[in-house]
Amino acid sequence: MSDAEDVFDDAVLAGEYVIGVLDAEARHAVGRRLKDDAEFAALVQFWERKFSPLALSLNPVAPPAALKQRIMKTLFAEPARRERSFAGALAFWRLATAGMTALAMTAIAALVYQSTRPLEIVETQLYATILPADAEPVLSARIDNQLRMIEIDRAAIELADNQAAELWLIPADGTPRSLGLINSEGRDRVGVPARLRSLFNAGAVLAVSLEPLGGSPTGAPTGPIIGLGELNSN
């Protein structure tokens, strides 16, 4: 037995997880660790990437046609979830802005513009603007170096009488944190809670959603996202 107890590193554990030899308990432990250990998650991704061609080498087996109907029914008979549109808008924004050439940006601008207008975010000293062609920002914002205050220089948000505009920070973990309600027109200042400052990293996104008066009742965006802009500290 002794040679099985040799010390093996995390890369081997990640490989064991990916090929699927761990028992339920060990597998569960690895699954939990994956959630907050990025280095370990990268090792798991290494094995997933390396081994997936082997899975694809299996002869395809068509599932019965009824299965597709069952899946479509399961998914689309249920009421639409509000968060979906938000996650979708964010994913599409990331797709649209990732390493994109000006030409491609123009090509997709119309699509982005259908559901969201960009925010223009300016950090003092360093700044970045994300602005598809022809689209007018819903707001322009600056954030001071200490991340204490977001200065909104110019907002142009159309609201119905029963709506409010809420500003959100979406950090790398993808969970939106409310920064509070903002004026729909003109200038505004939004204080940044101390507990959220560490989340203002490159890649974090500011978003504006339309909410009921008084703000989101759930703590997450419930209305349509009308603007998204990526923070970039360069």
Contact residues for other proteins (CB under 8 A)? Answer: 1-6, 8, 11-12, 15-16, 19-24, 27, 42, 45-46, 48-64, 67-68, 70-72, 74-76, 80, 84-85, 87-92, 94-95, 98-99, 174
Min CB(208)–other proteins separation in Å: 18
Assigned token pair, 28 = 């569960």
CB contact set of 140 (below 8 Å; sequence gap of 6+): 119, 120, 121, 122, 152, 153, 154
Q: Which is nearer to other proteins, 93 or 179 (CB)?
A: 93
Phi-psi category of residue 213: left, alpha or beta, with phi > 0 → left and psi -120 to 50 → alpha: beta
Min CB(153)–other proteins separation in Å: 30
Min CB(21)–other proteins separation in Å: 5
Cα–Cα distance, 193 to 201 (Å, whole number):
15
Neighbours of 111 (CB within 10 A): 12
Q: What are phi and psi of 188, to 5 degrees?
A: -160, 165
Q: Which is nearer to other proteins, 31 or 219 (CB)?
A: 31
Question: Starting from the edge strand earliest in sequence, which strands make up the sheet with 205-212, in order?
Answer: 177-182, 163-170, 205-212, 225-230, 117-123, 139-143, 149-156, 185-191
Q: Which is nearer to other proteins, 53 or 214 (CB)?
A: 53
Q: Which is nearer to other proteins, 110 or 149 (CB)?
A: 110
The per-residue DSSP string of 174-188 comes to: ---EEEEEE-SEEEE
Min CB(36)–other proteins separation in Å: 16
Contact (Cβ atoms closer than 8 angstroms) between residue 188 and residue 182: yes
Min CB(205)–other proteins separation in Å: 13
Q: Which is nearer to other proteins, 110 or 213 (CB)?
A: 110
Contact (Cβ atoms closer than 8 angstroms) between residue 130 and residue 229: yes
CB contact set of 23 (below 8 Å; sequence gap of 6+): none
Min CB(110)–other proteins separation in Å: 14
Q: Which is nearer to other proteins, 101 or 146 (CB)?
A: 101
